Every structure is written in structure tokens, then in C-alpha cells.
């Protein structure tokens, strides 16, 4: 090998080693830079509360905060997915779990509060085959009962609901049951034994119940009243139910 070739070889190796060192530095700095982005996103929580917020303004705030929490969770998930060997991967997983749970709570609260004062989209084929469409029940006062046979509080509400149904059904009062049960046969037997006349929704998914997700139901029993215009007007119908039914029927 000539001196010229040796010089070229040394120069080439020097360039290669410099590039290798540069790439190693970049690979080491990439997780740190990405983690700083996650930290910057996490610093947005909790978001500031706007001044002068009234009760009506609270509803969109729940969604805004849920979106922020979900965005932080997404960044944390992207970090530990791309850098699973990072020393911060465990912290990223914990952050994602925390923010995902917060987002779920906030989204549920938003959907629950948003339902009040608005029409409810409830349409299904009932346990006994009846077709139910709340949008076609305008002119009636409707009680929507979120419940389950395993819920003692729910079962305790049934006699009062039946009494109101027997008294006011002929005047235009109806009930829709949204069951959180997982055992279809047990629900059917319960409804038959208790002679519950109103239709029941059942999908067997309990906390993943279609309407539970849609309306953000946080716990049962929940009783909602829908007025003659199809608007959900009371999210706590269990209190003074007969008086509330009478007033709505009179409107």
C-alpha cells in the first residue's frame, strides 16, 4: 500500500469513526429529547380553570380537560413504544395509565352532564322483542332507568317505579329499562317474577354497556326523566318521582 493510499485509508477511517460517534450520540440523545417532550406535555396538567366559570360552562370544560389528559397519555404511550429500553419507560407507562383513567372519568362526566337539557338517543330491540325508540315517544313522559338485578339499590327502587307506572301510564307515562346485567336468563326471570311491564335493554356487557358508555353513567341506580318534548330534564328523578311525573304530564 502506497503512502497516498494509507493517508486516504486513515482519512476514511477517521471520517467513519466520527460519523459513528455522531450517530451514537444522536441515538443516546433521542430518548432524552423525547422524554422532555413528554414532560412538557405532562406539565399542562392540571389545566388552568378559566375565571368566571358558571355551571353551564363546566360541561365543555370536562371535555377539554379530558382531551388534554388523553393527549398526555398518547405522548407517554408513544415514548415507551419507541424507547422500551429507556430508563424512563416505566415512568411513561405509569403516566399513561394515570392520564388514561383521568380522561375516562372526565369523558364520562362530560357525557353525563351533556345529556341534561338535550334529547336522548335511545333506540334498541328490548329483551322481549319490543322495538324501542325514544325519539318516537314525544308527547309522553318517560323514565329511563339504568339498573341491574344485582344492584340492591336498583331493586329497592322498583316498587316505587311500578306504583308510579300503574298510576300514570294511562295518562302518558312510560318507563325504559337499561340493564347492566351480564346474565340474560337471570334478568328475564327477574322481570317475569316481578311482573315488570316496561321494556328492557340488555347487551350483557355491564360497565361496557352501550348506553353506559354513551351517557357516562358512573354508578347505578340512575333514574332520568324525559319530558313530552323528548328532552332529558331531570338526572335525579328518584327524589319525589310521583310529583315530578304529575308536573311533567301537566305541561
Nearest C-alpha neighbor of 176 from the set 247, 128, 218, 239: 128
Strand 200-201 and strand 222-226: the pairing is unpaired
Q: Cell 355491564, residue?
A: 206
What are the two backbone dihedrals, phi and then psi, of residue 246, each rounded to the nearest 5 degrees?
Answer: -60, -45
pTM: 0.70
Cell reading at 191: 322481570
Contact call for residues 157 and 145 (beta carbons, < 8 A):
yes
Q: What is the pLDDT along the chain (251 residues), one digit of tens a residue?
A: 555 544 544 444 444 444 444 444 444 568 888 898 989 988 888 888 776 555 556 788 888 888 988 899 999 999 899 999 999 999 999 999 998 988 888 888 887 777 888 999 999 999 999 999 999 999 999 999 999 999 999 999 999 999 999 999 999 999 999 999 999 999 999 999 999 999 999 999 887 889 988 888 878 999 999 999 999 999 889 889 999 999 999 98
Q: Which residues contact 180 (CB under 8 A, 6 or more apart)?
A: 146, 147, 148, 151, 206, 207, 209, 212, 220
Q: Report strand pairing: 123-125 vs 131-133.
A: antiparallel
Determine the Cα–Cα distance for residues 116 and 155; give it in Å rounded to an integer. 24
Q: Is the peptide bond before 196 cis (omega within 30 degrees of 0)?
A: no
Distance CA 3, CA 22 (A): 28
51's grid cell: 375565571
Integer Cα distance of 128 and 190 in angstroms = 13
Amino acid at each position: 500500500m502506497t503512502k497516498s493510499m494509507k493517508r486516504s485509508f486513515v482519512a476514511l477511517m477517521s471520517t467513519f469513526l466520527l460519523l459513528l460517534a455522531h450517530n451514537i450520540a444522536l441515538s443516546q440523545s433521542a430518548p432524552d429529547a423525547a422524554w422532555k417532550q413528554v414532560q412538557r406535555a405532562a406539565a399542562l396538567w392540571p389545566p388552568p380553570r378559566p375565571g368566571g366559570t358558571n355551571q353551564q360552562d363546566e360541561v365543555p370544560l370536562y371535555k377539554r380537560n379530558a382531551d388534554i389528559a388523553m393527549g398526555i397519555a398518547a405522548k407517554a404511550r408513544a415514548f415507551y413504544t419507541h424507547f422500551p429500553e429507556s430508563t424512563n419507560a416505566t415512568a411513561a407507562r405509569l403516566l399513561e395509565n394515570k392520564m388514561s383513567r383521568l380522561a375516562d372519568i372526565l369523558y364520562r362526566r362530560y357525557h353525563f352532564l351533556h345529556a341534561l337539557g338535550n334529547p336522548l338517543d335511545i333506540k334498541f330491540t328490548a329483551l322481549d322483542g319490543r322495538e324501542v325508540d325514544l325519539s318516537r315517544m314525544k308527547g309522553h313522559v318517560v323514565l329511563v332507568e339504568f339498573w341491574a338485578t344485582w344492584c340492591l339499590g336498583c331493586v329497592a327502587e322498583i316498587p316505587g317505579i311500578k306504583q308510579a307506572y300503574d298510576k300514570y301510564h294511562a295518562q302518558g307515562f312510560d318507563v325504559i329499562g337499561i340493564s347492566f346485567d351480564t346474565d340474560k336468563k337471570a334478568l328475564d326471570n327477574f322481570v317475569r317474577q316481578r311482573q315488570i311491564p316496561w321494556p328492557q335493554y340488555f347487551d350483557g356487557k355491564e360497565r361496557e354497556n352501550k348506553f353506559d358508555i354513551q351517557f357516562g353513567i358512573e354508578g347505578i341506580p340512575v333514574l332520568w326523566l324525559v319530558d313530552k318534548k323528548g328532552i332529558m330534564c331531570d338526572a335525579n328523578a328518584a327524589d319525589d318521582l310521583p310529583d315530578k311525573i304529575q308536573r311533567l304530564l301537566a305541561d
